[in-house]
Amino acid sequence: MKVILTPYWLIATTFIGIGDTLYLVYEKLHGVVPGCLVLHGCERVLNSPYSSVFGVTLAHIGLVYYVYMLALAVLLAIDPYSKGLRIGLMAYATIGLAFSIFFELFQYFVIGALCQYCAISALTTLVLFGLAVWHWRTTKN
């Protein structure tokens, strides 16, 4: 049986997403809009009425997404060939990617601004999706 490294790459990548979203949650709890390289982009996006769903900020939802993805990756590190975990990873990564694409397009076309922290999250989700596909292919029977 060969060594499967993708769960460890998934774990490492989730920490990028967790760090990004934890920073946004921390700043939101302190009433601060983080600095942004895009002129007024983060301010417009993070203070937008669309930045929360039913009173829960998208940063909090993203944090839950990454923590759950971390749990999946840890379980896959234990049993990388588990069919249920592999299907769960692919489904969860696909849903995350779809939402990330939607949020990035929504920012650009509806809010009219882009947030670098949201872009980091979207890129992280894209990498997680790529790793999920890679894991699926390397563990296919």
The CATH number assigned to the domain holding 109 equals 1.20.1440.130
Which pLDDT value is given to residue 3? 65
**SS3 (DSSP) at 37:** coil
Task: Identify the H or E element spanning 107.
Answer: none
Cα separation, 40 vs 118, in Å, equals: 14
Considering Cα of 25, then 114, then 55, then 31, what sign does the dihedral take?
A: positive
Determine, yes or no, domain membership for 1: no
Does the residue 91 lie in any domain? yes
pLDDT of residue 36: 80
The total number of structural domains in the chain stands at 1
Residue 57: predicted pLDDT: 86
Check whether 28 has a pLDDT greater than 80.
yes
Q: Which helix (H) or strand (E) holds 52?
A: strand 52-53
129 is a domain residue: yes
Residue 83 class from Cβ within 10 Å (0-12 exposed, 13-18 middle, 19+ buried)? exposed
Q: What is the pTM of this model?
A: 0.91
Hey, is 56 helix, strand or coil? strand
Interval 71-94 mean pLDDT: 95
Q: What pLDDT does residue 141 have?
A: 67
In a domain, 25, yes or no: yes
Residue 123 lies in a domain: yes
pLDDT of the residue at 49: 86
Instruction: Please state, in angstroms and rounded to a whole number, the distance separating the CA atoms of residues 124 and 103.
Output: 14
Q: Is 47 helix (H, G, I), strand (E, B) or coil?
A: coil
